[in-house]
């Protein structure tokens, strides 16, 4: 049996996943990284993208995250996600609706803050679209 590390995925609402994993590939802000047991400690930002959880030498779960932070140490990988949705639950219709709503928000935004928030929502929706393609 392969060595494992504890993986936790936490959203603002609840603990979504707490399980052992052989490896977790995270969409970091500076590129995807694979975290394995006995990984060097680090804290990094997470960009919108897909987390792959490996068990028995293959990807067993894929989860879309809208961004957040990851903390990795020798025994644990913790991702604090702004939003997390199992990839299998994302449908084309849902993603297109989010893109259209975000585009409308961008067009309607009048303040700098509103423009930044709308642009962030659009970037997340576009990353979702990429993830399901």
Ordered by start, the domain boundaries in the chain are 5-87, 90-132
pTM, to two decimals: 0.91
What 3 state SS string does the chain have?
CCCCEEEEEECCCCEEEEEEECEEEEEECCEEEEECCCCCCEEEEECCEEEEEEECCEEEEEEEECCEEEEECCCEEEEEECCEEEHHHCCHHHHHHHHHHHHHHHHHCCCHHHHHHHHHHHHHHHHHHHHHC
Mean pLDDT over 45-61 rounds to 96
Rounded distance, CA 33 to CA 26, Å? 5
Q: What is the pLDDT of residue 2?
A: 80
pLDDT in tens, 4-49: 999 999 998 899 999 999 999 999 999 999 999 999 999 999 999 9
Q: What is the pLDDT of residue 50?
A: 97
How is domain 5-87 classified at the CATH fold level?
A: ATP Synthase; domain 1 (2.60.15)
Q: What is the pLDDT of residue 1?
A: 60
């Amino acid at each position: 049996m392969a060595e494992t590390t504890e993986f936790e995925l936490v959203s603002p609402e609840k603990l979504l996943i707490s399980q052992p994993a052989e490896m977790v590939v995270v969409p970091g802000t500076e590129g995807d990284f694979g975290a394995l047991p006995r990984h060097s400690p680090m804290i990094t930002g997470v960009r919108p993208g897909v987390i792959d959880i490996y068990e028995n030498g293959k990807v067993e779960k894929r989860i879309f995250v809208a961004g957040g932070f990851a903390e990795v140490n020798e025994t644990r990988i913790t991702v604090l996600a702004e939003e997390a949705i199992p990839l299998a639950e994302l449908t084309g219709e849902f993603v297109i609706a989010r893109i259209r709503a975000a585009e409308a928000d961008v067009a309607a935004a009048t303040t700098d803050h509103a423009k930044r928030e709308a642009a962030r929502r659009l970037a997340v929706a576009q990353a979702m679209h990429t993830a399901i393609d």
